[in-house]
Structure 1
Amino acid sequence: MLWNGVDLAHADPDSVWRRTALVPQNFACRPLRVRENITPGRPRTRDDAPVWEAVDAVGMREAVERPPQRLDTLLAGELWGGVEPSGGQWQRLACARALHRRTPLPVLDEPTSQTAPRGEHQIFGRIKAIAGERVTIIVTHRLENTKVADRIVVMDRGRVAEQGRCEVLVHAGGVFAGLLRLSQER
Structure 2
Amino acid sequence: MSSSRHRLSGLPALAALLAVAGCSSSDDGAAAAVPRPDAAVAKLCRNLDAKLPRTVDGQRRSDPRPASALTAGWGSPVIILRCGVPRPPKMIDPKVAEGSDPDAVAGAVNGVDWLMERQGGGGYRFTTANREAYVEVSVPAVRDSATVLVALAPAVQKAIPEGIAD
Q: TM-score range by the shorter chain?
A: under 0.3
Instruction: Calculate the TM-score normalised by the size of structure 1.
Output: 0.26
Higher fraction of helix: 1
Higher relative contact order (CA closer than 8 Å, sequence separation 6+): 2
Higher fraction of strand: 2
Of structures 1 and 2, the larger Rg is shown by 1
